[in-house]
Amino acid sequence: MKINVGVDIEEVERFAEYIKDKKYLKRIFSDEEISYSIARKNPLQHLAASFAAKEAVWKALSSKNRKFAITDISIKRSKTGRPHVYIKNKRCKKIDISLSHTSKYVIAFAIVF
């Protein structure tokens, strides 16, 4: 079995300008990702984490036959807060992600197995 890995790191502050532009947010994030992030104490960290996760998944899938856009990837959280990957609104159980952040940076790892 082949395993692919993707990683992405983002500066949290980069998302400060994006959060003001609802049109931009809707082009990049799902409604659920936006709602989840805005409802948090530090919405910029959560937007950055979702974006990094999407990028990491995209990179991990780069060697596979991709027939979707990066905007087809969304990150949804379980009731416990654990992130899960959805592509075209279907949960991808063969993709696992891990997210971490500080006040300045977020990092995301994706493993496709």
Identify the CATH number of the domain in which residue 87 sits: 3.90.470.20
Supply the pLDDT for residue 2: 86
For 19, the domain range is: 4-112
Tens of pLDDT along 57-84?
A: 999 987 666 677 888 999 999 999 899 9
Cβ contact 45:106 at 8 Å: yes
Total number of domains constituting the chain: 1
The contacts of residue 36 (CB under 8 Å, 6+ apart) are: 46, 50, 77
What percent of the chain has pLDDT above 90? 81
User: How many CB atoms sit inside 10 A of residue 62's CB?
Assistant: 11
pTM score: 0.92
